[in-house]
Structure 1
Amino acid sequence: MTYKTLAKSDFAALSEFRYQMRRFERFSEDVVQAQGITPLQYLLLLHIKGYPGRDWATVGELAERLQAKHHGVVALATRCEAMGLVVRRVSETDRRRVEIHLLQHGETILAQLAEQHRIELLSLDGVFTIPRIRHA
């Protein structure tokens, strides 16, 4: 496989993008942990609430969103359930499907954290642009 040579500015753009992305991730880790949950627990709550078309999701759907293994998401949901953040419910339309729903405690934490993340993203306006790679 042959690769085209990238210009110094291309590497600089990619480096800056990764740096700003990591800064945001670090911010997120810090504010989430200050709320007493882990970054993965926050992402689980976010993906449940943000799932298109409804306010719940299945383990399989969450595994896709988190890019994680099914059994890992089962364990994550179990920990969140023990903390009173989510509840599992058997689907009323398909008894084989288990839906994961947010509980009020999870909704409250998620709302606070989502607002903090929104404010941080607004402060980064223009920073998260996808670098255009120009081949030399």
Structure 2
Amino acid sequence: MDKQQYMALSEFRFRLAQFLHFSESAARAGGITPAQYLLLLHLHGFEGRTWGTVGELAERLQASHQGTVALVKRCERNGLVSKRRSRRDARCVEIHLTPRARGLVRRIARCHAQALSQMGEVFRAATAAGASLGGTPGRDAATARTEKDSHAEA
């Protein structure tokens, strides 16, 4: 890596930390926790439908199933979500936003949209730095080493 790549990655991490801090503050100012905001955002953001399952939400939150169940219960107690059995598959429980939650997530998300628009250049710089390294997002160093070793043996 050259100095420009380190600078781009450093700037990206700095701006990402700033954004996450902003996001947490915006959620709290809206009267909910950052975790609750993320759950509501993911529910509102599912493509083609207005609900999600606990398993889907756990994946989106990168949280455990049990932790997501507890978060859904807290949101339900606070009037942010409702649970319903699926009409197509009674084994499936659908988590739905309440009208109050829809309004809340829209207000908080509007603040986020403005903050994200200011990060466009940072994302481009980080993407360019990663591309010049030949890296693939999400791959860990052990996987890369294993692939490198197997190519060396061939």
2:74 maps to a residue whose letter is R
SS in 1 for 2:96: strand
Root-mean-square deviation (CA, aligned residues, Å) is 1.2
1:42 to 22, 28, 37: 37
TM-score (normalizing by structure 1): 0.90
State the one-letter code of the partner of 1:38.
T
Which has a greater percent of helix? 2
Give the equivalent residue in structure 1 for 2:56.
61
Aligned to 1:3: none
Ranges in structure 1 where 5+ consecutive residues have no aligned partner: 1-5
Pick aligned residue for 2:115 from 111, 115, 120: 120
RCO comparison, higher one (Cα < 8 Å, 6+): 1
Q: Distance in 2 between matches of 1:99 and 1:36?
A: 24
Aligned to 1:15: 10
SS in 1 for 2:122: coil
- Paired residue for 2:129? 132
- What TM-score do you get using the length of structure 2 for normalisation? 0.80
Aligned-partner residue type, residue 54 of structure 1: R
Residue identity over aligned pairs, in percent, reads: 48
1:22-49 Cα deviation digits (max 9, x unpaired): 1111111111111111111001001001
> Any gaps of 5 or more consecutive residues in structure 2?
134-154
